[in-house]
Amino acid sequence: MLKIKALAITVCILAVWLAGCKKEPHVEVKRRKVKAETATVKRLPVLKVREFPGRTKAEQTATLSSKTSGTVKRILVDEGRRVKKGQLLLEVDDSDIKARITAVERGIKALLMKKKALTAKFEYIKKNFHRYKALLKEEAVTKEEFDRIKSQYLATQKEIRSLDYEIKRMKSEKNAVSSLLKYTKIRAPFDGVVSKKFVDEGTFVAPGMPLLAVNSDKGFTLFVTNVDESLIDSVKKQEEIPVFIKALNRTYSGRVHSISSVDPKSSTFRLKLKLSEKLPSGLFGRAFIPQESSYSVVVPEKAIVQRGNLKAVYTVDPQNIIHFQVIRCGSVYERTKAGLVPLPLYSSLSAEGKELMIEVLAGLKEGEKIVVSNTENVREGDELE
């Protein structure tokens, strides 16, 4: 009886064990497949820079100044107006100059009339002089009588010469005054754009006073800045230096065009950079002088996903499964010919044409794969095709 009970217990235990060892059916997870571009996270060199403010300037520029005194009569152009070489831009009132010319012409006319009368008188005196000279040889007149006629002859001759000199001087004065007339009409020296007006209609101008500034259409644009003297050995000819133009919210490449000597008063040197594109003159910007490089983990700005106050990226594991990964971001860099340059805090991230890279301080490691396109349609757990 005991053997039968023991056998029954053994059978029950075996049945329970077999039931526990029954294999569960495999449930396959169905994942959504998506297409997207990926990139491998890298540590890249980023530049440390010093910023120096400056402005753009046309390669060829001209400040048109007054060469005569007078009141500005007409200004035919405004700032920003495109002009052609030889085009009339401004007129200075020429009434004073014309009045001076008229006065000089009257003076010349009076001198010529005086000379005409004196010449007729001189001809009479000249004949007397030669007659008395002949009579003196015949002792028909005294030496005193001859000397009196001779003195009259020489004095009249000297007076005519003096008149000739005065007439010549006044004619030269007339030519000089007349030459000022062309300076009352200010014309464009070349094709370009009027960049600045220094005067208004009705302004009285004196010689040397600036009137208009014109920038040439041709050539290239310079960015001009003053740089601390400690960096004069850091800047080399033909070196590429990034230049951020605030009004356009863009960074341009500037090739070193010229380096001046150091100004002892300001302890700076003038640096001119030839910009990669033609820009208007007078735009404010900043030149970024590279100092040294350091390495940071950076990812393309387009890979960043914003969820409330959180910033994240989508990572891809070896099985091509996509995961939502929160990260902590640092500085923003722009890719330029000179390298990755820190983007100024006052610039906008929305400008077209920028290739931005975001520094990652935590949450990603070098070598990880991340999604860099179609991030708006990607979700946690999706499978990359």
Residues 199 and 165 in one domain: no
Contact 282, 194 (CB under 8 A): no
User: Same domain for 210 and 66?
Assistant: yes
Burial of 184 (0-12, 13-18, 19+ CB in 10 A): buried
Please indicate, yes or no, whether residues 83 and 119 belong to a single structural domain of this protein: no
Calculate the alpha carbon distances from 137 to 119, 140, 288 in Å. Answer: 27, 8, 99
Per DSSP (E only), the strands in 229-302 are 240-245, 250-263, 268-275, 284-300
| CATH code for the domain of 359 | 2.40.420.20
Going by their DSSP bridges, the two strands 33-34 and 383-384 should be labelled as: parallel
**DSSP tag of 385:** -
Please report whether residue 11 resides in a domain. no
157 vs 30, residue with greater confidence: 157
pLDDT in tens, 188-213: 988 888 888 999 999 999 998 999 98
Residues 300 and 285 in one domain: no
Is residue 244 included in any domain, yes or no?
yes
Same domain, 280 and 327: no
Of the residues 260, 290, 320, the one at which a domain ends:
290
Task: Determine, yes or no, domain membership for 175.
Answer: yes
pLDDT, one tens digit per residue, over 349-366 is: 555 566 788 888 898 888
Residue 56's nearest CA partner among 262, 258, 290, 243 is 243
Residues 111 and 223 in one domain: no
Asked if residue 364 belongs to a domain, the reply is yes
Q: pLDDT tens for residues 58-111?
A: 878 888 998 888 899 999 998 888 889 899 999 999 888 899 999 999 999 999
**127 against 291, higher pLDDT:** 127
Average pLDDT over residues 374-384: 81
User: 229 and 102, same structural domain?
Assistant: no
pTM listed for this prediction: 0.54
Question: In this structure, are 252 and 229 located in the same domain?
Answer: yes
Q: What is the mean pLDDT of the chain?
A: 82
**239 and 266 together in one domain:** yes
Instruction: Looking at the structure, tell me whether residues 323 and 275 fall in a common domain.
Output: no
pLDDT of residue 103: 92
The pLDDT of 218-239, averaged and rounded, is: 83
Find which of 35-39, 140-144, 163-167, 366-370 is predicted with most confidence, using mean pLDDT: 163-167
Q: Is residue 156 part of a domain?
A: yes
Residue 233 within any structural domain of the chain: yes
Q: What's the pLDDT score for residue 14?
A: 52
Structural domain tally of the chain?
4
Flag whether pLDDT at 113 surpasses 90: yes
The answer to whether residue 44 sits within a structural domain is yes
| Residue 183, pLDDT score | 87
The domain that holds 279 is classified in CATH as 2.40.30.170
Domain that holds residue 277: 52-58+219-290
Is pLDDT at 2 greater than 50 in this prediction? no
Whether residues 212 and 89 fall in one domain:
yes
| pLDDT one-digit tens code per residue, 322-342 | 888 888 888 787 777 767 777
**Residue 7 is assigned to a structural domain of this protein:** no
